[in-house]
Structure 1
């Protein structure tokens, strides 16, 4: 599931890392679209597992998020950083290490 907002590029801070709030909102939109929820129904502190995301969804989500941000995100990140807030913080803090060569 490709996100339209990704086509415009990720919102970045002045240091070139993605903005945590932009990543959080991207994740909220992704989960809402995937589960056919309203964005307001997505709790950023609820574990991904509580939304019923399986390994296939984890691979798709991290792949789409990585494409949007120009980085590689291991699907295991969803299991290590179990909420939208935690994953957004992780991706923002580690963006330089996750970047794809040439991006």
Structure 2
């Protein structure tokens, strides 16, 4: 009886991760203009969490069919600004 090798499991998960990453990059190339991709890569160097959040948001919009054409650099700026806005909590004080 043979047991699965831990290295084999790690290799397959790494292959899946690299395939998903390649698919993600391909979709972003189709959806983002070259200036927007450059801006997103620059943001990734400074704020990787923000870049991941915006990437996932854009990919979700694309999957839902809500993106027509490419996202320009100006549109990406707006998305980045809205993603950085602090969420406001409204508290009501009852008298």
TM-score (norm 2): 0.26
Task: Give the number of the structure whose alpha-carbon radius of gyration is greater.
Answer: 2
Task: Give the number of the structure whose residues are more often helix, by fraction.
Answer: 2
